[in-house]
Structures are given as C-alpha cells and as structure tokens.
Amino acid sequence: MSLQAKLQIASTEFQKLQNDLSNIVEARQRLDAQLSENELVRKEFQQLTTVNVVFKLTGPVLVKQDQGEAKSNVETRLDFIRSEIKRVETQLKDIEEKQERKKLELVDIQTAIQQQHAPVPPKHPAVLTA
C-alpha cells in the first residue's frame, strides 16, 4: 500500500475518532446537566415535611406519589447517572488515547512522505574552487 493511501486511511480514521470524541463529550455534558437537575430535586426533597405532598408527572397528568418512593427514585437515578458518567469518562479517555496514537501515526506517515520527496544529496560533495 502506498504512503498516500496509508495517509488517507489514517486521516479518515482520525476524523472518525474526532467525531466519536465530540459525541462522547456531548453525552458527558448531558449527564452533567441531569446530575445537577437530580441533585437539586434531592435537595428540595430534603426540605419536605411529612405533610407535603409529592406529585409525579405521568404524561399530561400529575399523579400523587409517596414521598419515600419519590426520594428513592431520585437516589436511584443519581446512582445511575454517576455510573454512566464513569462509563463515559472511561470511553473519553480511551478515545483520547486512540486519537493520540493515530496522530503520531499520521506524523510518521507524513514524515515518510516528505523524506520520499526530499532531494537526494549527491554522494560526493562538489569541490568549489575559487
């Protein structure tokens, strides 16, 4: 396979890694927003008394929900979001490492191409006489 073909393939793979990284960063941002939202809900629940009524939005209808069950649901969601954040962080690290390796591969290929096209110095230096 020619160096140009290798360069093209490596460039395409690098671009795919950049797209993957972008998608993972977006997922991480969404999870951060969900985490913040659910932590706010948990703080609100901590301020409730036993006489406060909690409702859950189910479709277009508000349905009365047990406080304990609602708190438990929020804690479960928080645990899930935190585990998803860890999973996404692992993916993020993996993609960044792959991207760095691919970048080095691209540099190596480009260097090889430049060396191919560099003028070959003469074997015997010319002697200049003045």
The answer to whether residue 130 sits within a structural domain is no
Residues 6+ apart with CB under 8 A from 88: 24, 27, 28, 31
Q: How many domains would you assign to the chain?
A: 1
- pLDDT, position 56: 93
Tell me whether residue 41 is in a domain: yes
Residue 124 lies in a domain: no
pLDDT for the residue 126: 60
Q: Which domain holds residue 108?
A: 3-117
- Mean of the pLDDT values across residues 85-102? 97
Taking residues 63-79, what's their average pLDDT?
96
- Please check the confidence at residue 98 and state whether its pLDDT lies above 90: yes
Q: Is 69 helix (H, G, I), strand (E, B) or coil?
A: helix
Between 123 and 34, whose confidence is greater?
34
Instruction: Take residue 120 and report the two structure tokens written for it.
Output: 């070959």
CATH of the domain at 39: 1.10.287.370
| Nearest alpha-carbon partner for 105 in 37, 15, 6 | 6
- The answer as to whether 123 is a domain residue is no
Contact 72, 63 (CB under 8 A): no
pLDDT digits (tens, 9 = 90+) for 11-59: 999 999 999 999 999 999 999 999 999 999 999 999 999 999 999 999 9
Mean pLDDT score, 94-121? 90
Number of residues that this document lists for the chain = 130
Report yes or no on 101 lying in a domain. yes
